[in-house]
């Protein structure tokens, strides 16, 4: 399945297919829009020398993807288990639960194993480096097979818990590719979520590096809450995008409380920081004379549905792609997203302007922040009347 092959530019093709995205997937990456996932177990992603045994060990991952998904360019996440760098596994029930949840939302998810100490003991910095190099090899593996896996190379992020968070943070902010496999591909992460972890040396944070979401129990006896506060301060000082979510009264590895009360913020963080409205977030249906448009986005943002007689493909910098023919483009309305939830939805039913009648219209939405500054252009949707 994962044979090496040349990677061709796929943006235009992906955009063209996204023009036919179904209403059912307009909340992709926000909601669990897929009922089932398909899992490929124990996929080899690399190999590395174990410093404690001197033996070369295989490195494996479990790959989760939404069952029946036809999206041509999908965001990817790596899930990294904890265990103090001497125990833990990609097969732990809570790790499987997290990977399944994220895949049901539309991500391709790789849950990885990495090199561990043979026995419990004081963690050394080299243990962290080895694990981070394995994670970087897994990032490169996803990019190596981006074409057959239909992965958007620009949207690869990591979520780690405890030692897995330490590993993800090290991989995100500390140079050094390691030699665990898949050379020649980028190991850069687009974002990282730290669940009760820490960065070994916070001074490694530099401007322009990936944003981080920090989730940490205030009563953590294993990784003191002060380490999370230090990471937050370092990110702020370096100008690195960050969120801080103290879990009040919680201890270490409080997965049950995290999934119940904090996971939605992780989902929103990834949706915002990976600019996923460029890949999803708009649906529309049309009948003669009327169009119904649904979008979702950041609380309090403004959005304006746009309609044109024909689709187009005009790159618009970091804001996305203008998918509408400028010569026939019309702004239908300006709306405000609710502030009640972090990623609210909004639906509008409007008449289609005179010359822009079905059977075929191209529809897109532009989003701007509360100050009126352009945030992004959603994916375009072409609708055809029954």
CA distances 5 to 72, 144, 147, 164, Å, are 17, 8, 8, 31
DSSP designation for 204: G
* Predicted pLDDT of residue 21: 43
User: Which residue in the block uniquely carries the two structure tokens 């009360």?
Assistant: 261
Q: What phi and psi, each to the nearest 5 degrees, are found at residue 116?
A: -125, 160
CB distance 104 to 33 below 8 Å = yes
CA distances 285 to 56, 69, 281, Å, are 56, 21, 14
CB distance 364 to 323 below 8 Å = yes
Residues of the chain predicted below pLDDT 50 = 1-24, 386
* Predicted pLDDT of residue 22: 40
Q: How many CB atoms lie within 10 A of CB 354?
A: 8
pTM above 0.75, yes or no: yes
- Select from 260, 263, 232 the least CA-distant residue to 343: 263
CA distances 97 to 64, 93, 136, 261, 311, Å, are 11, 6, 23, 15, 40
Looking only at Cα atoms, what is the longest distance across the chain? 74
Tens digit of each residue's pLDDT (9 = 90 or more) over 68-96:
999 999 999 999 999 999 999 999 999 99
- Name the H helices within the chain: 11-18, 93-104, 125-144, 146-149, 163-173, 225-238, 255-257, 263-273
* Predicted pLDDT of residue 357: 66
Rounded-to-integer distance, Cα 44 and Cα 54, Å: 20
* Predicted pLDDT of residue 23: 42
User: Which residue in the block uniquely carries the two structure tokens 């187009």?
Assistant: 312
The tokens describing 72, both together, are: 């041509």
DSSP designation for 174: S
CA distances 352 to 45, 59, 308, 346, Å, are 51, 55, 10, 18
Three-state secondary-structure class, residue 262: helix
Rounded-to-integer distance, Cα 282 and Cα 224, Å: 42
Which residues does residue 363 pair with via DSSP β-bridges, in sequence order?
307, 381
* Predicted pLDDT of residue 384: 56
């Amino acid at each position: 399945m994962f044979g090496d092959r040349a990677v061709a530019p796929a943006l235009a093709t992906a955009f063209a297919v996204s023009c036919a995205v179904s209403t059912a997937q307009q909340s992709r990456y926000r909601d669990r829009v897929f009922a089932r996932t398909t899992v490929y177990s124990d996929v080899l992603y690399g190999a590395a020398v174990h410093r404690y045994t001197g033996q070369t060990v295989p490195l494996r991952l479990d790959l989760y993807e939404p069952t029946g998904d036809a999206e041509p360019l999908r965001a990817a996440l790596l899930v990294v288990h904890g265990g103090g760098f001497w125990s833990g596994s990609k097969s732990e029930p809570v790790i499987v639960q997290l990977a399944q949840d994220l895949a049901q939302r539309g991500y391709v998810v790789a849950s990885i194993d990495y090199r561990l100490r043979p026995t419990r003991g004081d963690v050394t910095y080299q243990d962290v480096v080895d694990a981070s190099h394995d994670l970087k090899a897994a990032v490169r593996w996803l990019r190596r097979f981006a074409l057959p896996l239909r992965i958007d190379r620009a949207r690869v992020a990591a979520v780690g818990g405890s030692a897995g968070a330490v590993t993800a943070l090290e991989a995100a902010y500390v140079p050094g590719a390691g030699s665990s496999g898949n050379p020649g591909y980028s190991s850069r992460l687009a974002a990282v979520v730290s669940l009760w972890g820490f960065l070994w040396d916070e001074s490694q944070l530099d401007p322009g590096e990936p944003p981080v979401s920090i989730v940490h129990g205030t009563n953590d006896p294993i990784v003191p809450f002060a380490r999370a506060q230090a990471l937050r301060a370092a990110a702020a000082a370096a100008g690195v995008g960050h969120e801080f979510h103290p879990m009040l009264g919680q201890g270490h590895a409080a997965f049950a409380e995290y999934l119940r009360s904090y996971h939605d913020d992780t989902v929103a963080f990834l949706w915002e920081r990976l600019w996923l409205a460029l890949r999803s977030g708009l649906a529309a249906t049309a009948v003669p004379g009327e169009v119904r448009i649904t979008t979702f986005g950041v609380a309090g943002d403004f959005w304006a549905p746009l309609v044109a007689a024909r689709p187009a493909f005009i790159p618009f910098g970091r804001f996305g792609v203008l998918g509408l023919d400028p010569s026939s483009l019309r702004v239908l309305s300006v709306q405000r997203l609710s502030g009640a939830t972090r990623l609210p939805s909004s639906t509008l039913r409007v008449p289609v302007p005179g010359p822009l009648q079905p059977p075929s219209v191209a529809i897109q939405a532009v989003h701007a922040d509360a100050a009126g500054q352009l945030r992004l252009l959603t994916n375009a949707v072409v609708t055809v009347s029954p």
